[in-house]
Structure 1
Amino acid sequence: MKRCCFILFLLYLFVCVSASAQSPIIFKGENVVIGDHVSILEDPANTLGIDDIRKSKSFVPSGVSIPNLQLSSSDFWLKFTIRNESDQEHLILALEYPMLSTCEFYAMTDGNVQKMSYNNPFSNRKYQHQNFLFDVRIVPGTSEDYFLRVKSSEQMVLPLILGTPKSIAENLATNDLAWGIFMGLILVMILYNFFIYLSVKDTSYLYFVLYSLFIGLSSITLSGYTYRLILFDHPELNHLGIVIFPGLAGIVGNLFMMNFLQTKDNSPRMHRFVYLPILLYSIAVILRVFGYDQASFRAIDFAAISTVIITFTITISLSLEGYRPAKLFLLAFTLFITGLLLFVLRNLGVVPYSNFTNYTKETGTALDVILLAFALADKINTFKRDKERSQEQTLLALKENERIIREQNAILETKVNERTYELSEANTELNQTLIDLKEAEGQLVEAEKMASLGQLTAGIAHEINNPINFVTSNITPLNRDVDILIDFIQEMEKIGLSDLPVAEKQRLIDNHKEEMEFDYLKMEINQLLKGIQEGASRTSEIVKGLRVFSRLDEDDLKKADMNDGLDSTLIIINNLLSNKIKLEKNYGEIPFIECYPGKLNQVFLNILSNAIYAINKKFEDKEGGILKITTTNDESRVTIKIKDNGTGMDEVTKKKIFEPFFTTKDVGEGTGLGMSIAYNTIRRHQGEIQIISIPGEGSEFILELPIVFEYIEEDI
């Protein structure tokens, strides 16, 4: 038993010795990355000194070319041995990670300890560079042991490079040149897009400028250039910027994505998730401000992960739907993430440490900013093309509207003459047979259609007249203002070509501007143009309603939206609605139904006209009238409710309201056929019409129409 224990003890010592052993660094004159020749010891209590470390057997080989230490509040000691097989005695050890709060270098020379510390202000450094540079003096052909103590509130990545002063200086100069190009590019993009924002006032450009600013500050802060060039004697501010700048970049970047891709409209389900990384970035900034360094660094990690997942989800889904801005955004973000991923893989040792992998993060950031700028420009061009197309369509619609009005006026005059002739013929043939009476009834039904057409034309003429008058009334003052401007320009040309001194020219120009009230003139022109635009927009809306309602004489069965039909009818009778009648529309998301849309529009017109008549009869010129329209549906039917608070109907009127020629209006105000036609139209649509009415309180018409029409060969 004792012998077995002794063997196990020897094996334990062998394992410990092997774990702490590390091959020396052989320097032959060329730069070498020494991370895989380093042993590491963690001091959780932060109490060990160099004398304790020299005796310690607890060092563990790093095993990677670039040590990557976890986020910790511990001190970390690095131990390594250098054997100089070059002809140079003076070497430089470069640690390319500027975010260390503690960095102390210990050299064991002839058994004595020499310490070099970087805890002093930047201005007191021997080498004025953001990276940590240590002099290593070792006689060629000899070996020396070295220790390095490091500490940081962030996760530490320690690229350690050993080389001659010349080669290290060349490497640092190349690095400074690359970063100078990067910073210049970011600055150009910021200024260029800021000037574009001042011109177009597009919020997307403002978000992009702020994003470019903070992503640029984040990059140069993490690389140490902010500390070197701006905050060199304020390490506490640089320490705050390590998290605050990336946090602000993340917040503004997500806001830019929401605005640029219009996620609220284009991706409503994912839109609310974008606020999660914004919240996490805000928490990270607050934690860093209040001194919770490690927690803030971890919050940044979670925020970045959530941003990547949500951004890829939104951009990929919108790209698959063919949304062009999302495709450009996805390409830019992919390049940014690819560059960042290669940088992380370099730090983990998966890809080699080289000039290419050193700048993948900055390259990805630059490409991201450039492509996003292109995407913004493409979006502006798209908006411009859409605006031009919309203006062209509006012009065509106005011309078509003029043609329709002319045709309708001609048709109306013809129909009125025909109706007069038909009525006179009907009065002379009252004693004809039942067939003649049926024919007369048909003629009156057709006459009712013509009356609806007359009401349509009157409503459209009234509705279009207001915005057209608004446009034409602005033309005369606009022409006057333009003439004034032309005169002013000609006068300025004379002054500019004269031989007067510059000060005299300026005085004359100011006097002319004051005489013509130049500032007021600009404001008046803007208001006149805005009025013309509003008039044109209103006319476009009226034409759209007319297109829907003008299907009055269509005889084809088709699918139609009853909400659109109701809206088009309201446009037609808008001249009957005064400001004293309150209109309440409660439209549901109802499906399209199979129907004859023009016939149903006539039904809506008749019922709504009667409702307005009842309201006006009750309230006269007083306020208080309410007209309420509600649409709902179930699996098989669509329900339309039209309710008013007018005079209402008694039981006798309710029973006779659908009879032909029955009317409660005064002579000359109605034919008595409107509700009869409405009843027959609803029945022939295989629907039902119900009335709920209380005298003095109002009436409610309830129309129920099937979604699927069972077609029967019958003349409607």
Structure 2
Amino acid sequence: MNIHTACKTFLLSFFLLLTAGVQAQVTYNGSKGIQTIGNKIEYYIDSSGTKTLKSIQEQDQFLRSSSNVPDFGMIKTPVWLKISIYNVSPKEDLMLEFDQSLIQDIQFYYKKNGEWQLNQSGELYPFHARANNYHKFIYNLPIKTDSTATYYARIKSTHEMQMPIFLGDRAHMDDSNLTKNIFFGIFFGIILVMFFYNLFIYFSVKDPIYLYYVIYIFIVGLAQATIEGYSFHYLWPNNSFLATRSFFLLTAFVNISGVEFTRKFLQTSKFIPKLDKIAYLLYAVYAVVIGLTIKGHLFVSYQILQLFAGIVSLYMLIIAVTIARTGYRPAKFFLIAWMPLILGIIIWILKDYNVFSYNVFTNYSITIGSALEVILLSFALADKINIFKADKERSQEETLRALQENERIIREQNVVLELKVNERTLELRESNLELGRTLEDLKQAQSQLVESEKMASLGQLTAGIAHEINNPINFVTANIKPLKRDVDMMFEAFAFIENISLSESPLEEKQSQIAEYKQDLDFDYLIVEINDLLKGIKEGASRTAEIVKGLKIFSRLDEDDLKVADINEGLDSTLVIANNLLNNNIKVVKAYGEIPPIECYAGKLNQVFLNIISNGAYAVQKQFGDHSGGEIIITTTNDEEYIYISIKDNGTGMDEKTQKKIFEPFFTTKDVGEGTGLGMSIAYNTIKKHNGQIQLNSAEGEGTEFVLQLPIIHKVIAI
């Protein structure tokens, strides 16, 4: 160190000792790059709100700040800051930064050419009014080396007024702000990745919980961007209304969407219905905050938000812990994911109340907690996919068991039916054999797509047969056991009477013994009961024969041949097969006209009727559920050339888009596994094969009507 430098340092130290008791002054030597100068400034609270720069200089009632980060709390009146800077560094391009974006009005006074100049900016003014194009408030301080300059700032805010103030040269200030921007960019990148990732999952699995989460992520990202000033900078730079109110509105929406997502994800209405109702009280509070914010009562809104930030965090923690104790797995994941955000909120609140000091960690605690929470909650939601997969596997197993049981029942009923048919009529057995041969020929002739639909229809047919035949067969089998018991009693009675008649007792004594035995046996009632049981067996057998007859009409063993058929009879046989689809809740109204028989492929038409009726039953079931009121109306009429069959339901109906695609192969409105999408396509082709037409009339929410037009005399169209 040379003599000149030593003297200069001595004189500087001596000057600082002399001025230390007079006023606060910041000495910048550039050694640390960026300095925190909060404890080296002076402030004055303008309780009247009327002070001007001139009056504030004349009074000079400034107080020395004792904190590195001055904290003036929630204050409605302006705060004046006096900042004196002595530059001993070789850099003359100094910059002053107020590291706070949520300032309603900041008036920065500086001298230029001996005159005081004013830069006025903040949320009440367009963004371009700022001295530098940055989301925080940065001012250029061209202070020459070994020179002192004094600056004044009048600040007014509707938030907790914590004011970190940094001083540095341009290069270090740019590096510092770049680091902050990179940090926020990482956070926002996480938000965007999670947003699109969960949005993709929502479109894949259609689970509404993912949509709730996507909305929550979007609002969290926008709220954090607003807190850091990016929203005002890039989204609404000229809108002071949104600039002053966006923080309050978005904070309210973050809490509303967060609570609603929590309710849906944890199923609080199922596990803790009483605590779940508290959410509606919270919604009401945030609705009040939104109303107050729109009307401009921002101080009250901020106080409510501060108070309920802790309450909402505690509420979510309580419900997560409560549900996790039940063993509900998603609640455990939720609890782990939510803890970083809750901890961040608590740190942020305690920072506002000066329990924790202001630093990078406490200032960005919510941002860090939000990023961790978003990532961990995405893991929790991903776990739901595993739950869905397990549920789907269980459902498939149950479906397989049901199909196997159905197959067993059908197999048993087929055995019973075969025995009855073999016992009663040779003609029916021959017809069944012929039907089997015809079905085998038809299977070989059909394409793979039609085969798929046939298998689906066969499932409906067999289910209908099993359902319809089961009742009369059960009725027959239920009467056999009591009939055998009564017949055995009759045989015992005959044996007793025979023994009495062969005895040597007097005739009167024999008659007395027989009469007494018949009275004990209730012989007359026994005869009546045997007749009733035989009558029941006869009725069950007759009903079985009727069902078999309906099956024969429906299946049309000669359906590959063009023949004359009664369409009304075909509709009735189809209703017998489809009876199990009606669930006793759907009323079928038959308005048959006296239509003539027509030349047709009867079996194929019956398949068309079954497809339309089953679709109508499905639509009615979706509209009415287990309630009554659903109906299907079947009407037949004719003119000289055509017959017309109308099948109308009052189900869910179709929109225009569905109506345009209804006859396209593979198009279906049913859920996966409930339909192949080939039924109406085959129906359309079958009607065309008959040189007929099929007309669709439908209105969404009102019902659907199919009108089939078939020629009475089938005409072969030459190609």
Q: Is the CA contact 1:20–1:60 (under 8 Å) kept in the aligned structure 2? A: no
1:356 to partner: Cα distance: 4.6
Alignment map for 1:609-620 (pairs within 5 Å) = none
Report the counterpart of residue 166 of structure 1 in structure 2: 171
Alpha-carbon distance between aligned partners in 1 of 2:579 and 2:87, rounded to the nearest angstrom: 91
Distance 1:304 1:435, change over 3 A: farther
Q: Is the CA contact 2:100–2:163 (under 8 Å) kept in the aligned structure 1? A: yes
1:199 to partner: Cα distance: 3.6
Report the counterpart of residue 117 of structure 1 in structure 2: 120
Q: Does 1:27 align with 2:28?
A: yes
Q: Which amino acid aligns with 1:73?
A: K
Distance 1:148 1:329, change over 3 A: same
Q: Which amino acid aligns with 1:159?
A: P
State which of 654, 661, 664 in structure 2 corresponds to 1:521: 664
State which of 196, 211, 234 in structure 2 corresponds to 1:229: 234
Q: Is the CA contact 1:42–1:77 (under 8 Å) kept in the aligned structure 2? A: yes
1:220 to partner: Cα distance: 0.7
Report the counterpart of residue 45 of structure 1 in structure 2: 48
Q: Is the CA contact 1:190–1:213 (under 8 Å) kept in the aligned structure 2? A: yes
Q: Is the CA contact 2:321–2:331 (under 8 Å) kept in the aligned structure 1? A: yes
Report the counterpart of residue 96 of structure 2 in structure 1: 93
Report the counterpart of residue 421 of structure 1 in structure 2: 484
Q: Does 1:177 align with 2:178?
A: no
Distance 1:354 1:196, change over 3 A: same
Distance 1:523 1:403, change over 3 A: closer
Q: Which amino acid aligns with 2:486?
A: L
C-alpha offsets along residues 664-696 of structure 1, whole Å, 9 cap, x if unaligned? xxxxxxxxxxxxxxxxxxxxxxxxxxxxxxxxx
Q: Does 1:295 align with 2:327?
A: no
Alignment map for 1:93-242 (pairs within 5 Å) = 93-107=96-110, 113=116, 115-118=118-121, 121-141=126-146, 143-242=148-247
1:95 to partner: Cα distance: 0.4
Q: Does 1:249 align with 2:232?
A: no
1:53 to partner: Cα distance: 2.5
C-alpha offsets along residues 28-51 of structure 1, whole Å, 9 cap, x if unaligned? 312111223333322121011223
Distance 1:418 1:373, change over 3 A: same
Q: Is the CA contact 2:80–2:152 (under 8 Å) kept in the aligned structure 1? A: yes
C-alpha offsets along residues 531-569 of structure 1, whole Å, 9 cap, x if unaligned? 679xxxxxxxxxxxxxxxxxxxxxxxxxxxxxxxxxxxx
**Identical aligned residues as a percent:** 29
Report the counterpart of residue 325 of structure 1 in structure 2: 330
Report the counterpart of residue 68 of structure 1 in structure 2: 71
* Greater mean alpha carbon deviation, residues 169-178 or residues 404-413: 404-413
Alpha-carbon distance between aligned partners in 1 of 2:671 and 2:210, rounded to the nearest angstrom: 29
Distance 1:373 1:102, change over 3 A: same
Report the counterpart of residue 547 of structure 1 in structure 2: none
Alpha-carbon distance between aligned partners in 2 of 1:411 and 1:332, rounded to the nearest angstrom: 58
Alpha-carbon distance between aligned partners in 1 of 2:348 and 2:609, rounded to the nearest angstrom: 61
Q: Which amino acid aligns with 1:65?
A: N
Q: Is the CA contact 1:91–1:136 (under 8 Å) kept in the aligned structure 2? A: yes
Alpha-carbon distance between aligned partners in 2 of 1:332 and 1:173, rounded to the nearest angstrom: 30
Report the counterpart of residue 560 of structure 2 in structure 1: none
Alpha-carbon distance between aligned partners in 2 of 1:89 and 1:240, rounded to the nearest angstrom: 38
1:226 to partner: Cα distance: 1.1
> The residue matched to 2:133 in structure 1 has which SS?
coil
Structure with bigger gyration radius: 2
1:238 to partner: Cα distance: 1.6
C-alpha offsets along residues 234-276 of structure 1, whole Å, 9 cap, x if unaligned? 2332222122222222222222222222211121011110112
Q: Does 1:374 align with 2:437?
A: no
Q: Is the CA contact 1:22–1:37 (under 8 Å) kept in the aligned structure 2? A: no
Q: Does 1:361 align with 2:366?
A: yes
Consecutive unaligned residues in structure 2, runs of 5 or more: 1-19, 417-469, 497-512, 548-575, 584-603, 613-656, 677-719
1:412 to partner: Cα distance: 9.2
C-alpha offsets along residues 571-599 of structure 1, whole Å, 9 cap, x if unaligned? xxxxxxxxxxxxxxxxxxxxxxxxxxxxx
C-alpha offsets along residues 67-120 of structure 1, whole Å, 9 cap, x if unaligned? 222223201112344343433333211001122122123357999755443365
Q: Which amino acid aligns with 1:221?
A: T
Alpha-carbon distance between aligned partners in 2 of 1:221 and 1:213, rounded to the nearest angstrom: 12
Alpha-carbon distance between aligned partners in 2 of 1:200 and 1:72, rounded to the nearest angstrom: 50
Q: Is the CA contact 2:25–2:83 (under 8 Å) kept in the aligned structure 1? A: yes
Q: Which amino acid aligns with 2:89?
A: S
Alpha-carbon distance between aligned partners in 2 of 1:525 and 1:107, rounded to the nearest angstrom: 73
Consecutive unaligned residues in structure 1, runs of 5 or more: 1-18, 482-513, 534-716
Distance 1:161 1:213, change over 3 A: same
Q: Is the CA contact 2:105–2:155 (under 8 Å) kept in the aligned structure 1? A: yes
Report the counterpart of residue 338 of structure 1 in structure 2: 343
Report the counterpart of residue 623 of structure 1 in structure 2: none
Alpha-carbon distance between aligned partners in 1 of 2:48 and 2:518, rounded to the nearest angstrom: 113
Q: Is the CA contact 1:86–1:140 (under 8 Å) kept in the aligned structure 2? A: yes
Alpha-carbon distance between aligned partners in 2 of 1:474 and 1:262, rounded to the nearest angstrom: 49
TM-score by length of 2: 0.56
Distance 1:21 1:383, change over 3 A: farther
Report the counterpart of residue 509 of structure 2 in structure 1: none
Alpha-carbon distance between aligned partners in 1 of 2:352 and 2:145, rounded to the nearest angstrom: 31
1:348 to partner: Cα distance: 5.8
Alignment map for 1:12-23 (pairs within 5 Å) = none
Alpha-carbon distance between aligned partners in 2 of 1:45 and 1:100, rounded to the nearest angstrom: 19
Q: Is the CA contact 2:306–2:349 (under 8 Å) kept in the aligned structure 1? A: no
Q: Which amino acid aligns with 1:27?
A: Y
Distance 1:240 1:356, change over 3 A: closer
State which of 283, 296, 311 in structure 2 corresponds to 1:278: 283
Alignment map for 1:438-587 (pairs within 5 Å) = 519-521=662-664, 525-527=668-670
C-alpha offsets along residues 125-181 of structure 1, whole Å, 9 cap, x if unaligned? 331111111223444445554432100122222111111111111111122222223
Alpha-carbon distance between aligned partners in 2 of 1:303 and 1:415, rounded to the nearest angstrom: 70
1:418 to partner: Cα distance: 4.7
Q: Is the CA contact 1:186–1:366 (under 8 Å) kept in the aligned structure 2? A: yes
Alpha-carbon distance between aligned partners in 1 of 2:173 and 2:672, rounded to the nearest angstrom: 66
Q: Is the CA contact 1:478–1:528 (under 8 Å) kept in the aligned structure 2? A: no
C-alpha offsets along residues 466-500 of structure 1, whole Å, 9 cap, x if unaligned? 786689x999779999xxxxxxxxxxxxxxxxxxx
TM-score by length of 1: 0.56
Distance 1:37 1:126, change over 3 A: closer
Q: Is the CA contact 1:82–1:143 (under 8 Å) kept in the aligned structure 2? A: yes
1:419 to partner: Cα distance: 3.3
1:433 to partner: Cα distance: 14
Q: Which amino acid aligns with 2:309?
A: A
> The residue matched to 2:333 in structure 1 has which SS?
helix
Q: Which amino acid aligns with 1:25?
A: V
Alpha-carbon distance between aligned partners in 2 of 1:153 and 1:80, rounded to the nearest angstrom: 23
Q: Is the CA contact 1:478–1:525 (under 8 Å) kept in the aligned structure 2? A: no
> The residue matched to 2:281 in structure 1 has which SS?
helix
Alpha-carbon distance between aligned partners in 1 of 2:520 and 2:41, rounded to the nearest angstrom: 109
Q: Which amino acid aligns with 2:488?
A: E
Alpha-carbon distance between aligned partners in 2 of 1:475 and 1:334, rounded to the nearest angstrom: 63
Q: Which amino acid aligns with 2:158?
A: S
> The residue matched to 2:89 in structure 1 has which SS?
coil
> The residue matched to 2:277 in structure 1 has which SS?
helix
Q: Which amino acid aligns with 1:266?
A: F
C-alpha offsets along residues 306-335 of structure 1, whole Å, 9 cap, x if unaligned? 321221111111112111222222222211
Q: Is the CA contact 1:22–1:80 (under 8 Å) kept in the aligned structure 2? A: no
Alpha-carbon distance between aligned partners in 1 of 2:519 and 2:395, rounded to the nearest angstrom: 53
Alpha-carbon distance between aligned partners in 2 of 1:439 and 1:301, rounded to the nearest angstrom: 91
